[in-house]
Amino acid sequence: MNKLVTASDLDDAAPRGPRIVLFVEDGSGDWHARRLKRAMEARGAQVVTTTLSACAFDTSCPSGIEIPGFDGLLPDGAFVRSVSTGTLEQITFRLGILHALRESGIRVWNDARAIERCVDKSTATFLFQKAGLATPPTRVVETRARALAHAMRDPRPLVVKPLFGSQGNGVRRAQGPEELPPPEDVGDVYYMQHYLRRPEATQFEDWRVFVSQGRILSAMVRRGKSWITNVHQGAEPVAHEPCDEMRQLALGAVSTIGADYAGVDLIRDQGGRLMVLEINSNPAWKGLQSVTSVDIADTIAADFLSAVTKAKA
């Protein structure tokens, strides 16, 4: 098998750190991407920030992949901050680039497999159940008629979430069948979970546990005045030391998905049972950073660059 040739291998100057592509939402990147870039560069990496939409499959390139800033060659590693929203064809193309990088021997964080499993809530929930991890009772069906049939059989309130979504956007609570959203709001796929909080509750909380390279970096309680507790939706982040059960569930969820790093959301039901609510392969950590002494961007950068070095060895 021929040795993998990347852009850093052809640099005529003195040996430098690895050449990294950081995939972001737009050309400049968000708060998280900027911190990651600084942290990687502080550790000697050369970082090119671009978008997956700006890449191309090109048979005239030595690698078959064109990434802005790499002259048809491959980076030493790729960090995915965002895939961005788009049409089915656009998302398929962008994930195809990530698949191709992985198949070319490039270390990708997180790779397309992990992203696909996290983004599709139904797949993630299935994998959690298969691994024996507690998760809220969930049913996912196509068409509002089938969703109505389920809601009429089970009178408990439901939480209906977009199959693809994050930060609490588009999440609804349905007290009965008549409150199920119209098909166009959910792509005619209904992801329905039992509403786990007590009817009389006036304070709401759950937990975000941040994991990288098989270990827990930090955690927080998210406390909100509404039942949607995302920090993006106004919940207050509070520092939290996770118990052993939280640690085991969070680490188990990340391992099950196959993610290099992830944010895992945990919740307790009315009986106090701890469950995995969601997992995010491109987690935000601005709220968590505000309540922890751990430099999250620097730690992730160190973990990622270590994995890149091992992959190149």
Residue by residue, what is the 3-state secondary structure of the chain?
CCCCCEHHHHCCCCCCCCEEEEECCCCCCCHHHHHHHHHHHHCCCEEEEECHHHCEECCCCCCCEECCCCCCCECCEEEECCCCCCCHHHHHHHHHHHHHHHHCCCEEECCHHHHHHHHCHHHHHHHHHHCCCCCCCEEEEECHHHHHHHHHHCCCCEEEECCCCCCCCCCEEECCHHHCCCHHHHCCEEEEEECCCCCCCCCEEEEEEEEECCEEEEEEEEEECCCCCCHHHCCEEEECCCCHHHHHHHHHHHHHHCCCEEEEEEEECCCCCEEEEEEECCCCCHHHHCCCCCCHHHHHHHHHHHHHHHHHC
Inform me whether the pLDDT recorded for 6 exceeds 70: no
The domain that holds 187 is classified in CATH as 3.30.1490
The residue-averaged pLDDT of 65-75 equals: 95
Residues 50 and 80 in one domain: yes
Residues 64 and 185 in one domain: no
**How much is the pLDDT for 1?**
39
If one counts the domains in the chain, the total is 3
> Does the residue 287 lie in any domain?
no
More confident residue, 14 or 304: 304
Residues 27 and 104 in one domain: yes
**How much is the pLDDT for 14?**
46
Question: What's the pLDDT tens digit per position in 271-304?
Answer: 899 999 999 999 999 999 999 999 999 999 999 9
Residues 167 and 87 in one domain: no
- Report pTM: 0.89
**How much is the pLDDT for 47?**
97
Q: Which of 72-81, 135-144, 231-240 has the lowest mean pLDDT?
A: 231-240
The domain that holds 223 is classified in CATH as 3.30.470.20
Residues 234 and 165 in one domain: no
**Residue recorded with tokens 């009178």:** 155
Band (161; pLDDT cuts 50, 70, 90)? confident
Residues 87 and 144 in one domain: no
Residues 125 and 218 in one domain: yes
The residue-averaged pLDDT of 131-144 equals: 96
> Does the residue 26 lie in any domain?
yes
> Does the residue 164 lie in any domain?
yes
> Does the residue 292 lie in any domain?
no
Residues 210 and 276 in one domain: yes
**How much is the pLDDT for 197?**
80
Band (15; pLDDT cuts 50, 70, 90)? low
Inform me whether the pLDDT recorded for 184 exceeds 70: yes
**How much is the pLDDT for 26?**
78
The residue-averaged pLDDT of 185-200 equals: 87
Percentage of the chain modeled with pLDDT above 70: 92
Of 194, 209, 237, the residue at which a domain comes to its end is: 194
Q: Which two tokens stand for residue 39?
A: 């942290």
Please tell me the number of Cα atoms within 13 Å of 272 on its side-chain side: 0
Of 178, 194, 210, the residue at which a domain comes to its end is: 194
Inform me whether the pLDDT recorded for 5 exceeds 60: no
Mean pLDDT over each residue of the chain, to the nearest integer: 90
Residues 76 and 159 in one domain: no
Contact 276, 126 (CB under 8 A): no
Range of the domain at 40: 7-109+300-312
The domain that holds 14 is classified in CATH as 3.40.50.20
Residues 307 and 207 in one domain: no
Residues 128 and 251 in one domain: yes
Residues 26 and 102 in one domain: yes
> Does the residue 2 lie in any domain?
no
